[in-house]
Chain A
């Protein structure tokens, strides 16, 4: 059981370039999430997918797009990278049952630098 795997682990982009962060989970979870982590700001939700076929904006969606390719995979795309998107990105998944705690299982993170 690999849990949540995301790629790449590190990436350097120039302003205006595009890239896609890939995420896959093998826990048969319905819900998947993309967070960004910046110093002093905790974990902020970019986009989430409550179930296969649905996606919705989180707290900081501007400049990002997502695709829930199937139940396992949830990708995050930066169409035109900006220095403000320099961050560590975490993909996460959880079971989404009403009344459940919804523990988040995180990937190892992707450190993105935009020059």
Chain B
């Protein structure tokens, strides 16, 4: 089955700096890679995703890059703000399954943005 490794487990940055979280996956059949954000005491919510036919996707201050050859993908947050402080989870699955059943999550990264 799929194995997703996520690094680092904790990350502290100064407000305004950039943050990068990296994930690697093992199953070459995976072709859909979402990122979920979980604020303290809240539910995880999807913030951005990418399919394998795209190398990069941006949405305002967040972007995700994918290297299928190396089997890794990364989340980039620019101009970080205090509200970016949260736990971020990467995940991977084959999109053909049509279900989140085969979605495998990474272990999470606690991002803290220092004022």
User: Are B100 and A92 interface neighbours, CB within 8 A?
Assistant: yes
A12 CB to closest chain B CB (Å) equals 18
Q: Which residues of B contact A (CB under 8 A)?
A: 6, 9, 32, 34, 36, 42-46, 49, 89, 93, 95-101, 103, 105-108
With an 8 A cutoff between CB atoms, is A2 at the interface? no
Closest residue of chain A to B89 (Cβ to Cβ) is: A42
Contacts A108-B43, A109-B43; A103 near B101 (Cβ below 8 A): no
Contact between B44 and A90 (Cβ–Cβ < 8 Å)?
yes
A residues near B (Cβ < 8 Å) are 31, 33, 40-45, 48, 50, 56, 58, 90, 92, 94, 96-104, 106-109
Contact B9 A103 (CB under 8 A): no
Q: Tell me whether B98 and A96 are in contact (CB under 8 A).
A: yes
Counting residue pairs across A and B whose Cβ atoms lie within 8 Å, the total is 70
CA distance A108 to B42 in the complex (A): 6
Residue of A nearest to B95 (CB): A99
What 20 additional pairs, Cβ within 8 angstroms, besides A45-B103, A102-B100, A103-B34? A31-B100, A31-B101, A40-B9, A42-B106, A42-B108, A43-B89, A48-B101, A56-B101, A90-B43, A94-B99, A96-B99, A96-B100, A99-B95, A100-B98, A102-B93, A102-B95, A102-B98, A103-B46, A104-B46, A106-B43
Closest 5 CB pairs of A and B: A98-B98, A106-B43, A42-B105, A96-B99, A42-B107
> Is the Cβ of A50 less than 8 Å from the Cβ of B101?
yes
Q: A101-B49, A102-B103 in contact; A43/B44 too (CB < 8 A)?
A: yes
